[in-house]
Structure 1
Amino acid sequence: MSKWLLVDGFNLAYRCFHALPELTSSRGFPTGALHGWVKSLWKLIDQEHPHATLVFFDLGESEDRVALHAAYKAQRKPMPDALRQQIDPIKALTRAMGLAGIEQQGVESDDLLASEAVALARDGHDVVIVSSDKDFAQIVDDRIRIMLPPPSANPKLGWRLLDAAGVQEKFGVPPAQIAHYLALVGDTSDNIPGLDGVGPKTAAKWLAECGGSVECVVAKAGELKPERFREAVATNAERLRLNLRLTTLNLALPRVAPEWRTPNPPELFRLMDEYEMRSTGVEARRRYAGGAVASMPVPGIGGAHAAASSPTASVAGLAPAPRPAAQKAEQGELF
């Protein structure tokens, strides 16, 4: 079967922005994220040779999770204005490159991406998720892997693939237990508080001894070691159950039938000229000479997406960037 590349859009955009935060056009318009975005996608497509690439963006907050926990992600700073200005151009460049974009109002893009990844894997396809978000570790299996961006502290490591063995090595638990692990230790990037004093090693130990689930840990609260945590686990049982609902990805969302595109070199060149992306524009003209790019195919709609689509999802015609007050998408160094 084929390989699909699923890109966590804002996660990658933040990294591209922070890599070149001061780069601007002669008019003072920020362009660092634009250069990094295009070059990162080219590199990944050249490296992985995917059958197709889907790019997922957030459009508003996660209504389901905020309803459960009003403080969900509330601690995140608003998107920097210099990056916010580049979101619409990033989406325009994505379209001109012939890549399909997916977003849905009120639904977290992590859930959209994860649902699509699991569905593709179920159909026999291989999936590479481009993200540093540790939430995706819970769906890693024989067909789904995570492509981790170069770490900020050591960019020379380059892009790295994380498989199931890598998840086990990093967290001390297998992918199926990641959501339970995060429920116990908490997730500061999503403003989900864990149990005070419970760190990665303790959480992994409890899950190994208690059947791999939060519910089992709660049931055996009176037997846990160190003993000082027994009362805390018992009295915070409901909070741990809530945490698990927040950390578990929704894998049951309707699939979206993307509006497949072919690359539009004239529009791509126009955008790059408009934003004075000179060096990147030279590379684009080399790659798209003649208007055909073999590494960016257009899959037939009769394939993986023939049976299901969501009428509420926006595909390809990506929405404009949200205003600063509505967009809280700061991405931390998660891996």
Structure 2
Amino acid sequence: MANWLLIDGFNLAFRAFYGMPELTRSSDGFPTGALHGWVKALWRLIDEQRPAGGALVFFDLGGSQERLALHPEYKAQRRETPEALTQQLPFIRELTRAMGLGGIEREGVESDDLLAAQAVALAGGGDTVRIVSADKDFAQVVGGGVTLLLPPPTANPRIGWRHLDAVGVTEKFGVGPGQIADFLALVGDTSDNIPGLAGVGPKTAAKWLQAHGSLEGVLANAAEIKPERFRQELASAAERLRLNRQLTRFDLSLPTLTREELAQSQHINLGELLRLLGELEMKSAQAEAQRRYAQPELF
């Protein structure tokens, strides 16, 4: 049995970008702050978590065509990625692959679905998986060997990284992992432009799901729901709420990589890594890479 670290790439990249000062390459002013934060964050995670199976990063490569077909406004409200981060993303991908961390992506499929399906597949084979992300959607696959590793909150970074297991999911949301998609369907998800039922907050949604088990159970008992003002609203919005659940639920039927394929993606290319870091004028990171990968037994 191996333990794995599966990393939500863009989630961590944004944290690296906003968590570092505006560093630039001295020769031409090219932004490098996110790149410095990226390699430091990955090395710190690996050192602290020591994933025996390996660490793998998942990236988005275009949006989910299936979700866009269902809901054209899906994620439409998201702010554009800052130009300085957009410039650094190709290098983030290249550095990730040179570091032997996969950089897994698939056209037309969201990285969240790829990561969730891979986590469930590995756990189903007896391994343990820690998903690195602040995205609450991943709570729906926690359990059975899968836990969520939450980054420190921006408002209080001293809290540090936090592990969330199935019990922790229930404590945090008021519902278990198997009810998270239904919970999000009711309350909505502003980050993905999914509108919930107006006026329904987390406590109300959790109370309904505790009483009726699922979104379908809530809808079937709409005439008895309290507060009473939501009874007609639930009946009128039933199909939209079912659509919400389709949008919030992960596609766990996606093909996943075998352990052999995952092992092949973890090949460290030290020469390419040193070249990239040199090109980016990241001298301290270059020295750390030379030390770390020339003596891998120390790490």
Q: Same fold (TM over 0.5)?
A: yes
Work out the CA distance in 1 between the residues paired with 2:280 and 2:152.
26
- Establish whether residue 277 from structure 1 lines up as the match of residue 277 from structure 2: no
Structure 2 residue identity aligned to 1:227: E
Moved more, 155-164 or 177-186: 155-164
Give deviations 1:204-226, integer Å, cap 9, x for gaps: 0000111x211110000000000
Amino acid at match of 2:233: A
Shift of the alpha carbon at 1:5? 0.9
SS in 1 for 2:108: coil
| Maintained 8 Å contact 2:54/2:266 | no
Contact persistence 2:292–2:298 (CA under 8 A): no
1:7 aligns with 2:7: yes
**Aligned with 1:74: secondary structure?**
coil
Give distance in 1, aligned partners of 2:93 and 2:298.
21
2:267 paired residue number = 262
Q: Give the 5 Å matches for 1:8-27.
A: 8-26=8-26, 27=28
* Change beyond 3 A, Cα 1:293–1:276: farther
Conserved? CA contact 1:263–1:293, under 8 Å:
no
Q: Does 1:65 align with 2:67?
A: yes
In structure 2, relative to structure 1, the CA distance for the partners of 1:293 and 1:166 (3 Å cut) is same
**Alignment partners' CA distance in 2, 1:122 and 1:267:** 35
Mapped to 2, the partners of 1:273 and 1:158 lie a distance apart of: 31
Which string of whole-angstrom CA distances, capped at 9 and with x for unpartnered residues, describes residues 91-129 of structure 1?
Answer: 111121122121111101100001100011100000010
Q: Which residue of 2 aligns with 1:304?
A: none
1:150 pairs with 2:155 = no
Alignment correspondent of 1:167: 169
Q: 2:218 — aligned with what?
A: 217
The residue type paired with residue 82 of structure 1 is: A
> What does residue 128 of structure 1 align with?
130
Partners of 2:72 and 2:269 lie apart in 1 by: 42
* Structure with the larger helix share: 2
- Deviation at residue 146 of structure 1 after TM alignment: 0.8
Give CA deviations for 1:73-105 in whole Å, capped at 9, x if unaligned.
000112111101111111111121122121111
Name the TM-score, length of structure 1 as normaliser.
Answer: 0.85
Number of residue equivalences = 293
Of all paired residues, the percent bearing the same amino acid is 63
Alignment partner, residue 247 of structure 2: 246
Residue 233 of structure 2 corresponds to 232
* Shift, 1:293, TM fit: 5.4
Change (3 A) 1:6 1:17: same
Distance 1:13 1:260 in 2: 20
1:90 maps to 2:96: no
Structure 1: runs of 5 or more not aligned: 296-335
Compute the displacement of 1:21 (Å): 4.8
Partner of 2:112: 110
1:168, 1:59 → 2: CA distance?
A: 32
The separation in 1 between residues aligned to 2:39 and 2:245, in whole angstroms, is: 36
Higher relative contact order (CA 8 A, sep 6+): 1
- Counterpart Cα distance in 2 of 1:68 and 1:208: 28
How does the TM-score come out when normalised to structure 2? Answer: 0.95
SS at match of 1:180: helix
In 1, Cα distance between equivalents of 2:238 and 2:181: 15
* Residues 237 and 2 of structure 1: CA distance in aligned 2, closer, same or farther (over 3 Å): same
More displaced, 212-221 or 96-105?
Answer: 96-105
Residue in 1 aligned with 2:43? 42
Q: Does the aligned pair in 2 maintain the 1:55–1:99 contact within 8 Å?
A: yes
CA–CA distance in structure 2, aligned partners of residues 145 and 55 of structure 1? 16
Deviation at 1:144, TM superposition (A): 0.3
Give the distance between the partners of 1:180 and 1:84, measured in 2 at CA.
Answer: 34
One-letter code of the match for 2:6? Answer: L
Q: CA deviation at 1:196?
A: 0.5
